[in-house]
Amino acid sequence: MSGTAAMTPAAFALERVSKRYASFVALDEVSLSFASGSTTALIGTSGAGKSTVLRLLLGLDWPDQGVVKVGGQILQHADVLSLRRRVGYVIQDGGLFPHLTVLGNLALLPRYLGWRAPQIHARAAELAELTHLSPDLLERYPAELSGGQRQRVALMRGLMMNPDALLLDEPLGALDPLVRHELQDELKRIFAQLGKTVIVVTHDLAEAAWFADRLVLLRGGKVIQDGDLEDFRRRPADAFVTRFLHAQRHLPESSA
């Protein structure tokens, strides 16, 4: 796989991929393809295999059988470092280094790749504007930020190298409802503005449908249904899909 090849027409693909952790089957002969420039939400209960998909696509884990493809070519161990420079990865709580300032967290990979300070500062300022983060916060440490601010910084770090794709693993899961709602709007705007390949993992069906037209429901390491929200509603693949839809809570009706 070339380190500079564009991720087209399929940015990523899993072909009959299985993955075990000891006796636990995380994925069981899963085949999925993610088109370049698309936004896909992976949904399902805990342990369904959602995060494992991201880890395999990024080369953090390796399949026991089957292959992972990036840009149409089989991912090899020698490609992983190059791949991680081309794919942004955002996790729940941000995963920021507490001993570094916001700017220090953003600068880690660029400095390693030889970026000069003015270029790093310019890119950080550009991303602060994109994510609506006050530039005054760039010199603060993660402990001095709110949860929403830390998550914005994590997104900035994922975008720092202007990657071809963005993988997000429950990026808003630890936030309070008000902040989560605000950042859902921000993320949707950013996804649309950047036009990158986006794969987001979430337990929240409403959040998934807000971010993406394509929803992939996993259960027990298998893909149960792949389609848009109306497909899930009108043509559920099995009884579990219907139960999953009905399990999403709504506010009770007003008694007034």
Structural domain includes residue 210 = yes
Q: What is the pLDDT of residues 36-86, one digit of tens each?
A: 999 999 999 999 999 999 999 999 999 999 999 999 999 999 999 899 889
Structural domain includes residue 139 = no
Q: Which residues of 39-57 are buried (b: 16+ CB within 10 A; e: fewer)?
A: bbbbbbeeebbbbbbbbbb
Look up residue 69 and give its amino acid. K
Distance CA 118, CA 103 (A): 12
pTM of the model as a whole: 0.90
Structural domain includes residue 83 = yes
Structural domain includes residue 129 = no
Per-residue confidence (pLDDT) for residue 7, from 0 to 100: 53
Quick one: what percent of the chain has pLDDT higher than 70?
A: 93
Q: At what angle do helices 147-159 and 102-112 cross, to 10 degrees?
A: 10
Structural domain includes residue 109 = no
Between these two residues, 35 and 173, which has the higher pLDDT value? 35
Structural domain includes residue 123 = no
pLDDT at 108 over 90: yes
The residue segments making up the domain with residue 36 are 10-95+165-246
Q: Mean pLDDT over residues 169-197, rounded? A: 88
Per-residue confidence (pLDDT) for residue 239, from 0 to 100: 94
Q: Mean pLDDT over residues 195-218, rounded? A: 93
Count of structural domains within the chain: 1
Structural domain includes residue 213 = yes
Q: Give the chain's mean pLDDT.
A: 90
Per-residue confidence (pLDDT) for residue 144, from 0 to 100: 96
Q: Mean pLDDT over residues 134-151, rounded? A: 94
What CATH number is attached to the domain comprising 218?
Answer: 3.40.50.300
> Which string of DSSP letters, residue by residue, matches the chain?
--TT----SEEEEEEEEEEEETTEEEEEEEEEEEETT-EEEEE-STTSSHHHHHHHHHTSS--SEEEEEETTEE--GGGHHHHHHHEEEEETTTT--TTS-HHHHHHHHHHHTT--HHHHHHHHHHHHHHHT--GGGGGS-GGGS-HHHHHHHHHHHHHTT--SEEEEESTTTTS-HHHHHHHHHHHHHHHHHH--EEEEE-S-HHHHHHH-SEEEEEETTEEEEEE-HHHHHHS-SSHHHHHHHHTS--PPPP--
Distance CA 104, CA 138 (A): 8
Residues 6+ apart with CB under 8 A from 116: none
Q: Mean pLDDT over residues 107-118, rounded? A: 94
Per-residue confidence (pLDDT) for residue 180, from 0 to 100: 87
Residue 169: name the closest of 155, 189, 149 by CA: 155
Q: Mean pLDDT over residues 167-176, rounded? A: 86
Distance CA 70, CA 6 (A): 9
Per-residue confidence (pLDDT) for residue 94, from 0 to 100: 77
Q: How confident is the model at residue 12 (pLDDT cuts 50, 70, 90)?
A: very high
